[in-house]
Amino acid sequence: MRPRFQMTTGQAIRAWRKHRGLTQQEAAARAGPGWQSQWSEIETGHSEPELATLDRIAAALSTSAPCILLTRIDGETIHADYGKGRR
């Protein structure tokens, strides 16, 4: 059975960013120089990140790509802080 996605990847990234208390500019700066426009494109749904990009974004948010994708599937707003070694 295929999972029903409750949110887009961009929405899941936005949820994690807000959970971390970061602005989009702060999060993009953590990812590295030149990430602001790409980050914005992804969060707004104009672009889907490749796996390497998702890994970089996850690292900037102190979590992992699988945690972002799990958030996308279950639709919960960060119900557990998976990215900090819990579970």
The dihedral sign for the CA sequence 21, 27, 29, 31: positive
State the pLDDT at residue 86.
37
Top pLDDT among 85 and 40 is at 40
Q: Which CATH architecture has domain 19-78?
A: Orthogonal Bundle (1.10)
Rounded distance between C-alpha atoms, residue 73 and residue 2, angstroms: 10
Has residue 40 got a pLDDT over 60? yes
- pTM summary value: 0.80
CA distances from 54 to 1, 37, 69 (A): 25, 15, 9
Closest to 56 measured CA to CA, from 37, 35, 72: 35
Kindly list the domain boundaries of the chain, sorted by start residue. 19-78
